[in-house]
Amino acid sequence: MRSLRTSWIVVVTRRRVLRMPLSYLVAGVFALGLVGGGILTGAALQWHGDYQARLRDLSWVRRQSLEKQRLVHDQHRALSVVVAELAQLRDEATQLQALKDQVRALGRLEGEHDASVQPVRARAPETPVDDSAAVMLGYAYEDLELLRSVTEETKDTLSLFVALLEDERGIRPDIPSLWPVSASKTISSPFGSRRSPWSQSVQHHAGIDIRGPYGTPIQAAAAGRVTYAGRDPGYGNLVVVNHGSGIYTWYGHLARLQTRKGEAVEQGERIGTLGSTGRATGPHLHFEVRVNGRPVNPEKYFVIN
């Protein structure tokens, strides 16, 4: 049997000589490598676990961020809708304020019961739906304040007008509230934008056209004084009545005039007959109400039929 040869490592010091079998050293290095490898493996596993945990945290933060972005986007869109609706209400408030001034004029309320009358502040018609939330909130607060002011003013004015209507004397006879053609209630062309029968272009119709049989009696819508009774190229035979406080009524395309300039007329008094003189496509009365020179919708005044 062959004996195994053993390699030795000799360490010589001043006092002694140490001999160590090489196999022991290899075994020690191997053992040290195993221990070091285990430590490194454990550290790597710990680092991997921490890394995965951080990835999960980052994913959660990213999801939360996306949800908040969607929430902010939805809130921005909702705010845009609110601002757009407030802009529409602002336009309606402008019309309401004009109607309120008209009511005050009809009721002779100027100066006597003044409620406030700050005009609606002008602003560009575009709705700022693409601006920042802060800018849109600024517009929204401004419009809300305006609407609150106009609402209060209008409430006061309408309360006064209700009191006027409930007066025991009834509706004032100098308010153009009487339908001018007693035999017909047919409006063939309303107030506002319409297509011209002559040029087919869109034009503003300053009054209403009431269709009826030729020669139908026309009556004054309110008491007043005739300021014009004669011929006009467009209106044909025309009567204009002044009712005071800047309110006038116009009666166009008459077949016959039954009043004259300077004459005082009562509400319901006959002033002419329905015809088709001037620029007319058929027998009808062109009826206008003007307040301070501006045509307004006559249908808002009719209370007596």
DSSP 254-297: EEEE---TT-EE-TT-EEEEEB--SS-SSSEEEEEEEETTEEE-
What span, in angstroms and rounded, lies between the C-alpha atoms of 82 and 189?
Answer: 36
Q: pLDDT at residue 168 above 60?
A: no
pLDDT band at 60 (very low <50, low <70, confident <90, very high): confident
pLDDT digits (tens, 9 = 90+) for 131-158: 666 666 776 777 777 777 767 666 656 6
CA distances to 69, 201, 203 from 193, rounded to whole Å, are 45, 10, 5
% of residues, the chain, pLDDT over 90? 26
Specify the pLDDT at position 176.
87
Q: Which CATH number fits domain 186-300: 2.70.70.10, 3.50.50.60, 3.40.50.450, 3.30.930.10?
A: 2.70.70.10
Dihedrals phi, psi of 284, to nearest 5 degrees: -170, 165
* CB atoms closer than 10 angstroms to residue 211: 17
**Listed range (73-82, 156-165, 259-268) with the worst mean pLDDT:** 156-165
Name the pLDDT band for 8 (thresholds 50, 70, 90). Answer: low
The pair of three-digit structure tokens given for residue 65, joined into one six-digit string: 């961020």
- Per-range mean pLDDT, top range of 39-43, 112-116, 288-292: 288-292
Give the angle 152-156-157 at the CA atoms, nearest 5°.
Answer: 115
Per-domain boundaries in the chain:
8-62, 71-165, 186-300
Looking at residues 227-251, what average pLDDT do you find? 94
pLDDT of residue 219: 96
